[in-house]
Amino acid sequence: MSNLTALAIIKKPLFQASVIAIVFAVWMVSGSGHAEDGAQLNNAAPLPQNTDANTAVEKPIPQVRVQQFDAQLIARSISLYGRTAADRETNLGAEIAGRVEEVLAKRGSFVKKGDIIAKMEQNDLPQLLQRAKTLYKQREIEYQGAKQLAAQGFQGKARLAEAATALSDASTNVFTITLQLEKTIIIAPISGILNERHIEVGDYLAKGNPIATIADIDPLIIKADVTELDVNNVQLNQVAKVRLVSGKEIEGKVRYISRVANAATNTFRIEVSIDNDDLSLSAGGSAELSLPLRQEWAVKLSPSTLALDEEGVIGVKTVVDEHVVFTPIDILKADAQGSWLTGLGKQPTVITVGQGFVRAGDRVDAVLTRAQ
C-alpha cells in the first residue's frame, strides 16, 4: 500500500472514531487498576487521622490557697447619727406688767429650782394686800354675826347669804393680790443652766414678754432617727455607746422610742440618756450612737477575700469537698483591720489567694496556709 493510500485511510471519519474508542477503553482499564490498588493500600495500611477534635483534653485542676477561720459571737449593732439636747428646756415670761428692779442670776450660770432670777417693782401691791386682808377680817365678822342672828330667827336666810358672798369676795381679793406680789419675783421653775437672759435692770415688761431660758442638761439627751427595719430591734433601757464630736466615748440608755414614724423620712425618733453630773457636756453637738443588738457567729476577713457573683451579690468563696462554693454574706461591722462577716458558719475554709480565677462549682487543689 502506498503512502498516499495510507494517508487517505487515516483521514476517514470512521477510522478516527475507532482510534478514539480504543484510547478511551485503555484509559478506563488503567483507572480501574489504580482504584483497586488504592483500595488495597487503604486496607493494608490505613492513614493516621487527627484525633484532637474527637478526644477531650483534660484541663488541669487550678490551685488556690485557703485558710481556715474560727467564727466568734459578735454583737450586731446599728450606727446612728444624732445631736445632743437638753433633757428639759423652759422659757420664762413676765406674768404681770412692771419694771425690772433687780437681776440676780447671770447668763450661763447654774440655777437651782426656786432660785430668784430677777425682781420686779411691787409698786402699791403691798398696801393693797394689807387693805384686802383688813376687809376680809371685817367681812368675816359680819358673816359670823349674820349666822348667829339667823340661828336665833332674828335675820333671814337672804341676809346670811349676802354676808357669805361678801366674805368669799374678800377672800378672793386677798388671794389675787398675794399672787400678783409673788409674780413680781421671777424664780427658776427647774434646775439647769440659765442659757439666755433677756432682761436688764430698768426694763419695762408687758405681760408675756420673755425673761430667760433655762436648760436642764443633766441628764444629757441624744436624739437620733432609726429606720423602720431596725426600730423593732431597739428596746427601752438598752445600753448604747455614744461617741461625741470631741472623741469622748461614754455609755447611755435608751429612754424613749417613738411609735409614730416621721412622714417625710419614714424613720422613728429615739432618745438616749447619758449622765452629766458635772455639766461638762454641752447640748447641741453632734454625736454617733452604736446600739448593740443580738449576737451572731461572724468571721473577721480582709476585704481582699470578698467577691461578687454573676448577679452582683457580695460574698466569699470557700472550699467544700474540693469544690468552690460561693456564699453570700452580711457585713456585721467593719474597722481598719477587716470586716466581721456572717453567713459562713463556725469554721469556714476561705480562699485567700486565687479566688478571682475560679467559679462556684469548680474543682480546685486547695493548699492550706496558716494564719499570719
Closest CA to 105 of 218, 185, 203, 194: 194
Looking at residue 133, its pLDDT comes to: 95
Looking at the domain assignment, is residue 49 inside a domain?
A: no
Do 32 and 108 fall into the same domain? no
Looking at residue 372, its pLDDT comes to: 57
Q: What angle do CA 87, 89, 92 make, to 5 degrees?
A: 160
Do 184 and 233 fall into the same domain? no
List, as one string, the DSSP characters of 104-144.
-PPTT-EE-TT-EEEEE--TTHHHHHHHHHHHHHHHHHHHH
Looking at residue 367, its pLDDT comes to: 87
Do 191 and 251 fall into the same domain? no
Do 275 and 345 fall into the same domain? no
> For residue 189, what are the contacts with CB-CB under 8 A and spacing of at least 6?
90, 92, 113, 214
Do 278 and 250 fall into the same domain? yes
C-beta pairs of 249-254 under 8 Å, 24+ apart in sequence: 250/274, 250/275, 252/219, 252/222, 254/291
Looking at the domain assignment, is residue 56 inside a domain?
A: no
Looking at the domain assignment, is residue 50 inside a domain?
A: no
Looking at the domain assignment, is residue 59 inside a domain?
A: no
Looking at residue 217, its pLDDT comes to: 95
In eight-state DSSP terms, residue 159 is: H
Do 285 and 302 fall into the same domain? no
Distance separating alpha carbons of residues 103 and 211, to the nearest angstrom: 11
Looking at the domain assignment, is residue 111 inside a domain?
A: yes
Residues of the chain with pLDDT under 70: 1-58, 154, 371-372
Do 310 and 353 fall into the same domain? yes
Strand partners of residue 270: 224, 257
- Boundary of a domain, candidates 258, 276, 294: 294
Looking at residue 366, its pLDDT comes to: 85
Quickly list H helices, 184-213: none
- Boundary of a domain, candidates 155, 186, 210: 210
CATH classification of the domain holding 355: 2.40.420.20
Do 145 and 238 fall into the same domain? no
Distance separating alpha carbons of residues 60 and 364, to the nearest angstrom: 9
3-state SS assignment for residue 32: helix
Do 203 and 95 fall into the same domain? yes
Looking at the domain assignment, is residue 53 inside a domain?
A: no
3-state SS assignment for residue 192: strand
Do 168 and 185 fall into the same domain? yes
3-state SS assignment for residue 80: strand
- For 303, the domain range is 64-74+296-368
- Boundary of a domain, candidates 189, 210, 231: 210
| Contact status, residue 197 vs residue 188, Cβ threshold 8 Å | no
Looking at the domain assignment, is residue 119 inside a domain?
A: yes
CATH classification of the domain holding 232: 2.40.30.170
In eight-state DSSP terms, residue 322 is: T
3-state SS assignment for residue 3: helix
Do 97 and 197 fall into the same domain? yes
| Contact status, residue 226 vs residue 283, Cβ threshold 8 Å | no
pTM over 0.85? The answer is no
Looking at the domain assignment, is residue 264 inside a domain?
A: yes
Total number of domains constituting the chain: 4
